[in-house]
Every structure is written in C-alpha cells, then in structure tokens.
Structure 1
Amino acid sequence: MKIILGVLLVLLLSPLYGQNLSGNVENPKGLPIENANIFNKTSGQHNHTNATGYFKLANTKAGDSIYFSSLGYETLLFQPTTEEINGSVTIILVPQSLSLDQVVLVSEINQLSRIVDIDTKVNPVKSSQEILRKVPGLIIGQHAGGGKAEQIFLRGFDIDHGTDLSLNVDGMPVNMVSHAHGQGYSDLHFIIPETIENIEFGKGPFYADYGNFDTAGFINLQLRDAVDDNYIALEAGQFDTQRLVGMFPVLKKEYSSAYLASEIYFTDGPVESPQNFNRINILGKYLYNKPGEEKLDITASHFQSKWDASGQIPQRAVDAGLITRFGAIDDTEGGETSRTNLTLDYDKNLGGNDSSKTNAFVSHYDFELYSNFTFFLEDPVNGDQIRQKEDRYIIGASTAFERKNIDLGTFDVEFETGVGFRYDDVNDVELSRTKNRRETLENLSFGDVDELNGYGYFNAEFETGDWKFNPALRLDYFKFDYVNDLSETYDNRSEDKVAFSPKFNILYTPSPKTQFFLKSGIGFHSNDTRVVVANEGEDILPAAYGLDLGTIIKPVDRLVLNAAVWSLFLEQEFVYVGDAGIVEPSGKSRRLGAEVGARYQLNDWLYAYSDVNYTYARSTEEPEGADFIPLAPDLTASGGLIVDDLGPFSGSMVYRYVDDRPANEDDSINAEGYFITDLNLNYTRGSWTYGIIIENLFDTEWNETQFATESRLFNEPEPVEEIHFTPGTPFFIRGKVSVRF
C-alpha cells in the first residue's frame, strides 16, 4: 500500500518537462472531434483528443511530422513552427468517405474497437437486434416475441441476457442486477438505432473503469451528440410490420444544440399467433460544447413496449404434426415493459494536462413477463405458466480525474482515477404461477431488493519507446438487502462483500502498422441478491481470471488483420433452469479460445470483413464426458460485403454462422447450428433514399434459440427432455423510404 501511495504521489506532483504542442481538433463547422488520433512520427509520441476536442502532445519539436486522423476525415500532416510549440493550435479535419486508409495503429489498449467502428459507420445498424452483432464474435437470439431482451453468446458463453457482459449506453448501465427474469438482464430496445454514433467494446476482464459483469467483456454504446438535418424514415414489410422514425434538430447556437428523436414499431411476426408487438421510443438530447474547455450533454428518453409470444416449442410436437414450426403450445405468453432515463455527462479541461469527467443517471424501469417453458409438467390441469414482474429505480454517479504527459525520465505517463456508485431500489420482485395471464395461482417468491455498488479505480499507462505498460486496480463494495414479503413475520436479510480486481496490460507497437498485446486481469459478476442471502453470503462475487495474447497488423494501407488466443477461468457459472424460468449458480469453468479477423477496403466503395471465433469451454468440477457447458458455442463466424457511396447506391450482404453445440452437460442433446445471410440495398436521389431490407435472404430453416428442457404436453403420460426452440425468422422483406431536409 505504501508503494501504491508513493506512485500516486509522484504522478500527482511530478513536474512536466520538454516541449509540448496543444490545441483543439475540430470539423469545418467548429465542432470538436472526440478521440481523434495524434501521432508524432518523428518522436513516436501519440495522444488523442478528449470530449472537448482538446489535446496535448509531449516531447514535440518544431518541424516534427505530426499526423491527425479520425474515421470519416482526411488524415492531416502538420509540422509545427517554433511559435506554435508550447502554444495552442486549432486543427481542422476535412470530412472524407470512410476508408481503412484512415486507420493508424497506436498504442491504445482498445485499438480493435476503434478499427471495428468503421463497420458501424459504413453500414449503420437498422434494428435493435443488429446493435450487438457489430461486436466480432457476438451472436444474439430472440425467443419471446421481440419484446424480451435478446439472448447473448460471446467467447464460449451462453450469457443469457447479460450475466457475463457489461452493457452501457453513454456510461449508463443497462444490466439489471437481481432482475425478476435473470441476473444481468439487459434490454437494449430503448435505443433508437439511428441515434448510435459508435460502439466501444472490449473483450475480457481487463478494463478498470468497468466492473460488474465485465468477464467476457464490455460494450458501451455512444449516442449522437447532435444531428444536422431533419430526418424521417418509414419502413413497411411482411408480417404486418411498420416502423416510423424521426430525428429533428430543435436548437442550433454557437456552443449549444439539441435534437429530438422518436421511433414507433409494430409487427405480428412470422408466427401463427400474432405477436401484436408494439414499441415506442422518444429521446431528447441537449449539448453544450465549448471546444477545448468543457462539454455538457443531458439526455432524456422513454421507452415502452407490449407483445404476445408463442414461446419455445418442443421438437416432438412439430415432428408429430401437432403444430408447425411457427405454431405454439401456449400462445398466451408475452409481456410489457418500459424504461425512462435521464443522464448527464460533463467533461471539463482543468488546465494543462488535467481533465475531469462526470456522469450521473436516474432510471425508472418496470417489467412484466409471462412464460411457459414446461407446459403441463408441474400442473397438469392449469399448465405451468409463470409471471415475473418488478418495478425498479436506479440512480448512480461517477467522476474521474485524468492527467496526461507526465515526464518521468524514461517513461511518459498518464493516469486516471475515479469513484462512483450505483443503487438499485427494486420493489415487488415477483415469481408466480398464473393462468391465461389473468389468474394468479400461487406466489413462489415476492419481495423487495435494495442493492448498492460503490467503487473506485486507478488506471495508469507508462509508455517508453514502442512499449506501453498499463497497471490498474479496481475496488468494488456491494451491499445486498432482501425483504421477503411472503413471510408471515418481517424477514429482512443483508449481506455485503468487497471485490479487488487488479489488471495489467502490455502493448508493443513497433510501427503504425503493427501492434502486439498481452492483457491480463481479474473481473467478476455479482449474484442475484435472493441467491446471496439464501446462501448466507457464499459466492457473492465469483471472480473471472483472464489472459489475452494477440496482434493487430496493417500489412497494406487498406487491409487490417487481427488475431488473438485467450483463456478465461470462472469461479462460478450460471445455469438456466427451464422449469422455474430462472438462472442459478453452479460450479467452476474454464475457456480457451482463438479468434481471427480481417477488414479489407477493396476500393473506395467496396468494403469486406470477416471474424471467426473458436472456444473450448468445459466445467472443471464434473467428470469428463459430463463437463460440457450447455449452449456454449464453440465455433462462430460473421462477416460480409459492404457497398458505400457507389454513386447513388449503397448496401450490404452480411452473414452469421453458429456451429452445432451441446445443449446439456453430457452432449446427448444437441442444439443445431445455422448460417444466415441478410441483404440491404439503398438508392439515394437528392434528399430521398429508397431501400430494401431482407433478413434470411435464402429462406433458411433455422432455430434462433434452443434449450434442452424437460416438459410434458397435455395428456402425455410422462415428461420428455429434448430440444425446445424458437423458430428463426424466415425470408423477411421490407421496404424503406427516408428523407433529409
């Protein structure tokens, strides 16, 4: 501890030496460009702009060759004069069609995320489901009528709805702790796809500013700060599908702007019992941005949806001709949910090399879900339908201080330290047996959850020559409290615990075209409060131990390749329990994996990418042959061709592939893989764009989600364990018309 305090004291009080170049990077409209790369080819020094567009580059001399670059802008070569050194300059970057030419490999811990961001910019997401698919190796599936959060697969995990992936939007957490349906439940349907600016992600537990659920990785969606034009789009297609979206700038001043966005979506889906799905989103964002000084944005949004669902169906019912693949055993499933958010982000330059950033949020969320996984297994008369329900308030805040360009002789150092908290007040968390979504037959659990997570972290980067060393520490405190409202007497139980998560990453960047990395760290996911108090505090914060070794190279200007091998050991898994509709903790597991990716700009208008991921996942506490992790994918792939700015034409053809995988612990039941291709084509004339969107272009028969579940149909004498599935969308075409004005 004395050593750590000593290092902190040196970093905070260390004087600065050498010559510096500082200033702002802006676009031609005077708006700051965040995360622009600044690379001094002469000295090897690099940096990037903060949220206000401000930068400071150390050890810079007159005449040095300094490159300023950002996706979507021409790379600018700047050679400062003597007068500009130790002064302030304004760099204007000119917009340019996106190209891999603009990618410069610098010693950043999360370099791959910056590169993959080009996938999003040249081929923007067109639906909520597409948001997460932009992350290489991430596969999703929907299995409850479109209103329920997607099931997520990444790095050999069946993450369910978010147990091992930290999801955030502009710094606001999406994962729901101690949720009525499952731990870490993450519903991203409150995001309007057109408002997404970029997707920041990282795989593994290597990032000190992300805590709970950051085991397989994290994702932070960043929304647009502003819109330039009015935008209206209308979609219509098969299955009675309609979608209307609009974005409107409502304020434009020198430093201030604001816009409104909204979305309305309806569909019955491809199933025989109409989904009657409807969703509405409303978002407003205000921005005050004074380049080089401060940035404030305030975002308010509201989302609500309702739907019916056919649920998961047993394979034997289809094989026997009782129902079709798009039929239902219990079509009274479904639900409704809503979320209202208010977030604030404030970034401030404190002078010189110091800056701060503050985030605060408050959210109100409610949820009601009806499911029937086992049909008549438990109740042969009324059926096994369950209701899961909750009403929640979330509040939280964080603040961080950053100092850059600290000269410690051999090392150029920067550090960031931050503190924050999140508090969840969850009322009337319910699991009940119901009938026809109207009659409550039995309350299985009912109570109130209060969960507090306070944290602090310290992240430092020591750079010398081509090397960067990144030690980091994170400390989390959790307080779990549960009141059981089914008890005849007052029953309030509490537990608390601290998690200590060290990280250490090493980068070697011998040139702007080559990077090698070694990442290591400990992360964790918390357990449901109800599990925590029931087990009297055992296994509250099971840890994840991760290691990544990989490289990113750019052998030619328009080709970027990445590869990595990795391992991850978890102290505890989660297992889906179909008959109760919940997840419960189990034993230890290990994963070993390899991933490769390629992005190639064939010419100015044609872009290709592909990612392939392999994982070996096993439980470590079970005998060989009974140690498979159910639904953990071993081989996945995704990629495609993107056409951008080919005269008036643009579009893409993309694919995703999942191999067959075990559905239970001994692999006696298998979940079938699939290969799906999607297509979209656009034609722009003036301010109007006409498009066609086709999901499942070749009309492949596939199962979107699958589970090994024991169930009993009406009048069946004995239960059967087999694959239960949700059918994947067949050929699905819709047209789109949009206009900017």
Structure 2
Amino acid sequence: MSRPWQILPLLSCLAAPGTWAQPALPQLAEIRVSAGDAVAPGEADSASEGRVTAQRLARRPLLRPADLMESVPGLVVTQHSGDGKANQYFLRGFNLDHGSDFATSLMGMPVNLVSHAHGQGYMDLNFLIPELVSSLQYRKGVYHAEDADFAVAGSARIDYMRQLPAPFVELGLGPGGYRRSLLADSRLFDDKSLLMALELTHNNGPWQQPERLGKQNAVLKLSSGTEARGYSISGLLYQADWNATEHVPERAIVSGEIGRYGVLSPGDGGRTHRYSLSAQWADSTDHGARRAHAYVIDYGLNLFSTPSGFVSGLSGDQHEQADQRVLWGGGWQQSWFLGEGLGATELTLGTLWRQDRISNVGLFSTVKRQRTEVVRQDRILETAIGLSLEARTVWTDWLRTSLGLRQDHLQARVTPLAGAFNADNGGDVSARQLSPRLGLVLGPFAALGSTEFFVNAGQGFHSNDARGATSRVSPLDGSAVTPVPLLVKARGQEIGLRAQPLPAWQTRLSVWQMQLASELVFVGDEGVTEPRGASRRWGLEWAQDVQVAPGLTWDGNLAWSKARFVQAVNGGSHVPNAVPLTVSTGLAWDRGGPWFGGLRLRYLGAYDLEETGRQPSRGYWWGSLKLGYRFQSGSNRWQATLDVLNLFDRRANDIEYWGGACSQREALSGIGGCGSGSAIDGRLIHPLEPRTLRLGLRLSF
C-alpha cells in the first residue's frame, strides 16, 4: 500500500480548484424558500437540478456514508458485497453499477475512476464523513457545458464545511460489533479557518462471516474567505480493510446449504486507500469571476471476490482485482458579466485536465487471497482534456437561455505487463467529442405560483475502459475480441417545471428521454461490466417539498422510467437491472428544542434481471428512523441519537441479479456441470441487513 506522505511534496504544485457554483446572473426577484432544494425561482437552468443543505442532510438516518446520495430525488443506493466496496447506484433507468454514468466530486476532486480494476467509473464514497458535508448540489442529464465524463444520468458536487458551528466528539455503538468514533474541530487563525477531523470505524455486520470492517479517515482543510472570494487547501487520508459476503445463489439459501446471511466462499474482501491533496481558489468582481482547482490523489485497491462460487472446482473461483494509481488534474473557469438588467449575459469559459497514471491494474486467479495465475496485468496512462463555453442570458423578466458547447479529448496508452494471452492487447487509442448543450427557461410567473417552465437538450458521454478499447484477444482464452470505443455518446432531452404555489410548498416535475450509443451491463457470473448495444430511456420525475409547520418539513419523490435496447440482445430488449419505479418520502423535524429527528421511507420497484423480462426482482419498502435529544450540562452541550435502520425488519434483497454460479454442494455433486467449468443460471441475491439500532452520543464544547 502506498504511504500518504509520499504525495506531500506535490502540494506546492497545486493551483486551486473550481467547482460548479457560478456567480448568479442578475436576479429577477428575491424570493425566500422555506422548504425545498435550496434553489430559488430564477436560479435554476433545469427542472431536475437542486441543492441539499447540511441541515436537511443531518436529519437523514444513514446505514452507510453513500446513503447521503439518496437525497438526490430518484437515486437509490444499495450494496451487493462488503461495506468497504463502492455501493451500487440506480437513477433514471440506469443501473449505475458502481458509478458508470453518474459523476461525483468532493471539493473539486473527482470520485469516479477510469479504467478501474473492478468497473469503469468506480465511485467509492466510503471515505465521506457525513457530519462534515456542507451541501450537495446535483444535476441530471447532459445539459450543462461544464459536466464531462460519466455525467450522463447525472452528477453531484459535494462540499465540506469551512468551519464547524462547534468542535465535537461523537461515539456510535450498534449490534454486530459496530463502533464509530469521530473527533472534529475547527480553529480560527486571523482570517483563516482550519478544519480537522478523525474518524475510526469498526463493524462486523449481521453476516455469518464477520465483516471485520476497519476504517480510518482523516481530514485537514485550511480555508480563507468565502467560496466566491477565497481559497481552501485540503488533505484527506482514508484507508479500509474488510471481509465481504458477496451475492449468492438464492437456491443455496432456500435449500438450507447456507443461512440468509451466509457466505459461499469465505475469504472474500479487500483493502483500499485514498490519499489526496486539493486546492480551490475563487475571486469575483462586478465584471466577472474566476475559479481554479487542482488535485492529486494516490489510490489503491485489492479486491477479492467469488461471484460465481465453485464453477471451476472445489477450490473456488476467487479472483483478485488490483488497482494502483496516482491521478492529478485541475481546471480553470473564467466568467464575464456582459451588460446589465435585461439582456445581461454571463459568458463562461472553462478548461479541465486530468491524467491517471495507473502503474498496475490487473485480474488474478486466487485461492484464499493467494495469487495462483495472472489473467491480465497492465500499465495505463490515460489523459482527458476538456474545453467548455457557455452563455447564460436574461432576455426578459420571463425568458432566460443557456447555450453551451463542450469539446473533450481522451487518449490512453495501455502497456501489457503479464498474462498468458495478454501480450497483444496493448496500444494507443484516442477519441474526441463536441457536445452542444441548450436550455430555455420561461418564467417565473408570479400569477402561477412562481412557476418556471424548462426545455433542455444536450449531448454528453461516458468513457469505456481503455483496456477494452485496445484488446484484440480475450485474456481468458486467447480468442479474438472486438475493441470497444473509448468514448460512448449520449443524447438527452427534458421538459419540466418548477413552482412554488405557496411560500411553504415547492414542486418540481420533469419528463425526459435519453439515447445511449452503448450500454454497460453488469454480468453476474463474471463480476464485471461489459458494453452492449445502443439503448433508449424515457421517464418522469415528480418531487415535492413542504414546510408543514415551523421546524417540520415533508418531502416526497416519485421517479418512473423505462429502459430498452434498440436491438434485441440475448432474445430480448429489456435492460437488466434498470429500476422502473422508485418512491421516497420523509419527515424531518427540529424546532430548536431538545427533540429532533427524521423518518424516511423508500420503495425500490421490481426490475428485470435479464433481457427477456421473464425474471423480475421483487420490489420492497425500506424504512429508517432517527430520534435525537439535546441537553446541556454546565458549559458542555450533549446530543444523544438513536437510528433505527430497516425500521420494519423487511426480509427483502438489497440487490438481485441473474447469472451463473455454483454452490459448494453443487460442485461436490457435479450437478449441471458445476465443478468442471459449467454454471447454473439463477437468481443471485444480497439480503438487506435486518433491523439495526445504532446509538450515538455527541459532546460539543
């Protein structure tokens, strides 16, 4: 594993980072929003974008850090393995696997990883510390000129606080050996603020094989000024190791071979680290604004998985996916304010650069985490350069437009290092795309409850694994394969509205469609993703936010979608694991008194597991509850919380797949060719964790 201090000398190379938040155009009216997504009428460029504040995030019960992402309407977070691994995400009819079509950044640093050992766009958010998040801004679709690779279904920008309301120490306890401690503080030095945090977590979970998750997380952030005029320099250190209970054939549970929380093959799990330095800088005047950002990240992962069980024999099918890289990059954004009042235009020019130097990315056959064969091992140098131009204009008090153009260039060099059939799979590959973006806003119309109507269209892309773009033979058996394109085009269109019929009620409705030139589909019996044919999606989203009473808010979100291949694949046109319906609703209350809390309900609808649509999953409701009580003892302020996760103790599956696998008993008997290279197709599941209670105690001083 790399050492975190090895990247410290690079701090001097960092210039500071840019983010989305642009200086606003001249506002048409000042309207206070008492509930909702913290975006006032006259500010948004699309109906489906929004911003979630720290106050709203703090009232959400969380099973894992990435559950914060469920504050994005319509987005669902699940898990099919150990809690040290990236989560599974679903949005707008996409099975995002581990992040393939949703771009996320933290303080200007990209989270998604290209040409990753486990899956393209791998988005591991386990290093997040939820208590430090100041805001989460989200967008959906391909309508904004500054959004680049992976921002197809959507994107999110997460920021950490510059200063805490008060320093605190927090302890958490729960069943399954759950222990979490968090120490956070911020200090002022003249005009500067220093944020410090240290998090330690251990958890075994409900699994028959104890997870033994050990996580260490540290944050150091120096800030001066504000986000609009100031700078920040941040250092993050994260590392974790764990055992994993992978998805298993449902028939192995039904037959009694393993328990509901049992494991097919002990020994799965992994270890990972992410050490980073980043900087952000911004300045603004009456005539324009400038933003810059830079970052360097040292990342590593060794992931041991046995998704197919015992297909090849009684020693099991375990493999290791290894990834070691350093990535750096940054960007610059310059805005000019042209004109005043009506006809005023904000012209923004942006640049983006990123390079991943992947010293080792490989797939290895293993037994009990010991390598027995190199399937494929490569070195990759991958570079992305982007240039964007956008003009946002207020034409009248009821008409605004945004016109954008983005040029992206990707290039990669793959150098084979090992593998019996891998020697000819190297080479250079490049791709580029010009992406127009268009937005039209009518409103706000005060007579219609500050209603705004939106029309958006655009073109974007996601990249494919560079190894797939240079491969000519299969690293498994040497058979010929066809290289995949390095860049996959996506087109999207959306119409929608945002309205505030009452000061305490905000509603948003959007109807959208998307065309993708190539689909990424999870293949359960291989544990990887692979590109398929072109696909199309369409759907509807409806979000409500209501301030029911002082200190009490309610929100409700419904998202429906349909995903189909343009041409039949494997005898059908259904896109596997594309969730057609999600519903979420919740209450949050905090009147400033001793009691506070939050209640969340979420429905994940049944989805097709394979292309014919004959094997659907089972939909389920998930509930969670947070109760909190504040009290004071002398000069110390205390806060006690109780989180109840899986409130109704549902025996449902967190995620389901359809694929080939063999249990140990099946391999022993040789049924269906198990143990000699053949697999039995069936339902692969990972169960929800049972009802879990977690106690928290915080001391602020």
Fold equivalence (TM over 0.5) = yes
Matched, 1:422 2:354: yes
Aligned twin of 2:391? 460
Deviation at 1:534, TM superposition (A): 1.7
Alignment-derived partner of residue 701 in structure 1? 651
| 2:212 equivalent to 1:276 | yes
> Could you tell me how far apart the structure 1 residues matched to 2:192 and 2:569 are?
63
- Aligned counterparts of 1:487 and 1:674: Cα–Cα separation in 2: 43
Range 606-615 or range 98-107, more displaced: 98-107
Contact kept? 2:38, 2:52, Cα under 8 Å? no
Matched residues in 2 for 1:68 and 1:574: separation?
43
Q: Which amino acid aligns with 2:644?
A: I
TM-score, normalization by structure 1: 0.84
Q: CA deviation at 1:321?
A: 1.0
Are 1:557 and 2:503 counterparts? yes
Question: RMSD between aligned alpha carbons?
Answer: 2.3
Which consecutive residues of structure 1, in runs of 5 or more, have no partner in the other structure?
1-33, 36-47, 59-64, 72-97
The residue that corresponds to 1:186 in the other structure is 123
Q: 2:402 aligns with which of 449, 470, 490?
A: 470
Aligned partner of 2:5 in structure 1 is none
Q: Partner of 2:492 in structure 1?
A: 546
- How far 1:217 moved relative to its partner? 0.7
User: Deviation at 1:537?
Assistant: 6.3
Aligned mates of 2:169, 2:221 — CA distance in 1: 17
User: Counterpart of 2:101?
Assistant: 164
Deviation readout 1:646-704 (Å, 9 max, x if unpaired)? 62111011011111111011122222111010001001113111110010111111111
Report the residue type matching 2:390 in the other structure: N
The offset of 1:611, in angstroms, is: 0.3
Partner deviation per Cα, 1:353-396 (whole Å, 9 max, x = no partner): 1211000000000001000011121x213211010001110000
Q: Distance in 1 between matches of 2:111 and 2:256?
A: 41
Query: Superposed, which structure 2 residues align to 1:334-353 within 5 Å?
Result: 334-349=269-284, 351-353=285-287
Any conservation in 1 of the 2:215–2:241 contact (CA below 8 Å)? Answer: yes
Matched, 1:732 2:678: no
1:247 has 2:184 as partner: yes
- Which residue of 253, 270, 293 maps to 1:318? 253
Identify the residue that residue 106 of structure 1 maps to in structure 2: 42
Task: Find the aligned partners of 2:29 and 2:329 in 1 and give their Cα distance.
Answer: 40
User: In structure 2, which of residues 79, 83, 102 is the aligned counterpart of residue 142 of structure 1?
Assistant: 79
1:99 Cα offset (Å): 4.4
* C-alpha distance in structure 2 between counterparts of 1:107 and 1:442, whole Å: 56
8 Å contact 1:475–1:500 — kept in the other structure?
yes
SS in structure 1 of the partner of residue 251 of structure 2: helix
Amino acid paired to 1:441: T
State the Cα deviation string for residues 401-460 of structure 1 (Å, max 9, x = none): 0112425x962111110112000011221101110112x222111011110001100011
Counterpart mapping for 1:161-560 below 5 A = 161-249=98-186, 251-289=187-225, 294-349=229-284, 351-377=285-311, 379-407=312-340, 411-438=343-370, 440-465=371-396, 466-486=398-418, 492-511=426-445, 513-534=450-471, 538-560=484-506
**CA–CA distance in structure 1, aligned partners of residues 234 and 61 of structure 2:** 21
Contact 1:105 1:111 (8 Å CA) reproduced: no
**1:330 Cα deviation after fit:** 0.7
Q: How far apart, in 1, do the equivalents of 2:37 and 2:471 lie?
A: 56
Q: Does 1:666 align with 2:600?
A: no
| Separation (CA, whole Å) in 2 of partners of 1:665 and 1:674 | 22
Alpha-carbon contact 1:453-1:478 (below 8 Å) kept: yes
Distance in 2 (CA, whole Å) between partners of 1:364 and 1:102 is 34
Q: Give yes or no for contact 1:56–1:405 (8 Å, CA) kept in 2.
A: no
Identity %: 26
| Alpha-carbon distance change, 57 to 615 in structure 1, aligned in 2, over 3 angstroms | closer
The letter for the 2-side match of 1:613 is A
- Aligned residue for 1:273, secondary structure, equals coil
In the aligned structure 1, how far is the partner of 2:376 from the partner of 2:22? 50
Structure 1's 720 and 584: CA in aligned 2 closer, same or farther, altered over 3 A?
A: same
Distance 2:174 2:310 in 1: 36
In the TM superposition, what whole-angstrom CA distance separates every residue of 1:72-126 from its partner, at most 9, and x where no partner exists?
xxxxxxxxxxxxxxxxxxxxxxxxxx64598631142156544654873562564
Give the structure 2 partner of residue 12 of structure 1.
none
| Separation (CA, whole Å) in 2 of partners of 1:365 and 1:393 | 6
Aligned residues: 653
Q: Within 2, Cα distance between the matches of 1:400 and 1:654?
A: 38
Deviation at 1:259, TM superposition (A): 1.4
CA distance in 2, matches of 1:290, 1:523: 32
**Is structure 2 residue 659 aligned with structure 1 residue 723?**
no
Equivalent residues of 2:42, 2:444 under 8 A apart:
no
Tell me, in whole angstroms, the C-alpha distance in 2 between the residues paired with 1:411 and 1:593: 34
Aligned amino acid, residue 398 of structure 1: G
In structure 2, the CA distance between the partners of 1:491 and 1:550, relative to structure 1 (3 Å rule), is: closer
Deviation string 1:229-270 (CA, Å, 9 cap, x unpaired) is 211111101111011111111x31342111101111111001
Tell me the SS of whatever aligns to 1:622. Answer: strand
What CA distance in whole angstroms lies between the structure 2 residues aligned with 1:374 and 1:577?
A: 10
Q: Give the 3 Å change call, closer, same or farther, for CA 57–136 of structure 1 in structure 2.
A: closer
Distance 2:191 2:25 in 1: 22
Greater mean alpha carbon deviation, residues 397-406 or residues 607-616: 397-406
